[in-house]
Chains A and B, each alone.
Chain A
């Protein structure tokens, strides 16, 4: 069962060729990240079988959908795939319920599908009798996601489901996607060019359109790779998956534990043991050589310098650190780098000015 996802094909358009050779985890969300026009959507279409890429191989957890050597090409409607398109694509001639039933009935009304749970998770219970033309963009997209899930797919493909929405609708849909992330038992591939969404939702990251071709790996180490930093716009960051370890009601703080360290943040409403993902921007991390004794900064942790690279501004450098098991990035001035006489292997204290909750 857990063979994971195996993809091997070459996408060709006039003036464009992309070699894809990926082994992706058989569960969790994999983000396909890259600038517009780098072939993200073409990849999804090839996986779904909407575009027939010659040659190549597509298999999902042991089920082969396409294989050149076996002359096998399973047509789209026989692939157990859920596909959420960029623009909400509900059937205009059907009600919301009719849209949901379309895939559900064709999948043979699978018993294993938690129909009520999916409707709840996407918060569309109140929309079932509505016509689709009266729905907002966010509501349509939620219905489209539910419709895809009700077909009990073996793989969920999401093509920038937030891209066509305004900021308000985006904010409304993101929590739904985060809930989806927590409950999804099948693998999902999420196409996006927005680092925010990727940092919040993904477990695994595939970088397309970079200088060194296709790069693939777990999200946190990928984000901390200096050689890829230029792919993540001008705002390098890392994500840290934490578990709430304790609440301090006197100071109104919560302690978030992670491998080899802890963060303190303003008191969280969640219970102890709850998993939370935090994002730390490189610009919010500063370095000192000695443990600061009198400082207002709450989050201090010993770390080791691993490497350094130039940034897009000559005045700054980007430093890769290792704090316990967690990689960190710090964006500091070149003068500070020289003044502290830092080099690979130097022990430092990292001061984290702020961490933003992601999910």
Chain B
């Protein structure tokens, strides 16, 4: 059984979406995770809770609110219309924003843990050795939290690939724009094309396994982690 052109388009779209979301989440999530790990501000708790919300909320709830916000009368919709971008719902850009929110905790949490586990000391040492703020971040924090970054990248990417509810709510099912693999599988099943659904589902199964293998393989083993 071969993949149809629709299947390939869905795979390609999914890949583009997951890559875009992962890169953007790294750029936004790294400073946010750093702030959450370092700041003593009382605001860290509410912010951390909001970031973690997608872990608990059904994707349909998140998708519903985003649909309303993106709509012609929603705050984001009004803004994007006044900027001349038009509406974000049922577009690739809208999907990217929704996926970022949805996958944010999977990127923020590993990064925050990694930053917290470094502690204050290596940064103090680097400062006494003449390293300024940026220097310390790039030469001490980044290398010491390498595993956190790998975990964050893999989980953020994989979680975006696996989303379904949010996509259906705000993306709909438009080929080449918002029809990602998980939606395509749903379509195959609806049309009783079990064979094609099997192929795509099998692809995702293998992909997910490889992802988890990568994550666990990159973690230090307990006995050698001292």
Binding site for B on A (CB under 8 A): 48, 50, 75-79, 81-83, 85, 87, 89, 91-93, 102-103, 106-107, 147-148, 151
Contacts and interface: CB of A to CB of B under 8 A. Distances in A.
Contact of B127 (A77, A82, A147): A77
Contact of B129 (A75, A87, A92, A151): A151
Contact of A106 (B121, B124, B130, B144): B130
B132 interface: yes
Given A91-B140, A93-B143, A147 B122 contact: no
A89 B121 contact: yes
Contact of A82 (B121, B128, B143): B128
Contact of A89 (B125, B131, B136, B146): B125
Question: A77, A85, A92, A106 — which one has the most chain B CB atoms within 10 A of its CB?
Answer: A77
5 contacts: A76-B128, A77-B127, A77-B132, A89-B122, A103-B129
B129 A147 contact: yes
Contacts of B135: 77, 106
Contacts of B146: 93
Contact of B131 (A82, A93, A106, A148): A106
Contacts of B130: 77-78, 103, 106-107, 151
B201 interface: no
B127 A50 contact: yes
Contacts of B127: 50, 75-77
Contacts of B131: 77, 102, 106
B126 interface: yes
Interface of B: 121-122, 124-132, 135-136, 139-140, 143-144, 146
A92 B132 contact: no
A147 B129 CA distance: 8
Contact of A102 (B121, B124, B126, B132): B126
B144 A92 contact: yes
B128 A81 contact: yes
A50 B127 CA distance: 8
Nearest to B129: A103
Counting from the closest, the 10 A-B pairs by CB-CB distance are A106-B130, A103-B129, A83-B128, A76-B127, A93-B143, A77-B127, A89-B125, A77-B132, A89-B121, A77-B130
A50 B129 contact: no
B178 to A, nearest CB: 42
Nearest to B130: A106
B124 A50 contact: yes
Nearest to B224: A133
Contacts of A48: 128
B144 A148 contact: no
Given A89-B121, A92-B144, A93-B144, A148 B128 contact: yes
Contacts of A81: 128
A82 B146 CA distance: 28
Contacts of A87: 121
Nearest to B124: A50
A50 B125 contact: no
Contacts of A89: 121-122, 124-125
Contacts of B129: 77, 102-103, 106, 147-148, 151
B111 to A, nearest CB: 17
Contacts of A75: 127, 132
Nearest to A153: B128
Contacts of B140: 91, 93
Contacts of A107: 130
A110 to B, nearest CB: 11
Contacts of A82: 128
B119 to A, nearest CB: 10
Nearest to B136: A77
Contacts of B121: 85, 87, 89
Nearest to B127: A76
A82 B127 CA distance: 10
B89 to A, nearest CB: 45
Contacts of B136: 77
Nearest to A83: B128
A79 B130 CA distance: 8
A228 B53 CA distance: 61
Contacts of B125: 83, 85, 89, 91
A50 B128 contact: yes
B103 to A, nearest CB: 28
Contacts of A77: 126-132, 135-136
Nearest to B144: A93
A77 B124 CA distance: 9
Contacts of B124: 50, 76, 83, 85, 89
A226 B53 CA distance: 67
Contacts of B126: 77, 91, 102
A92 B117 CA distance: 13
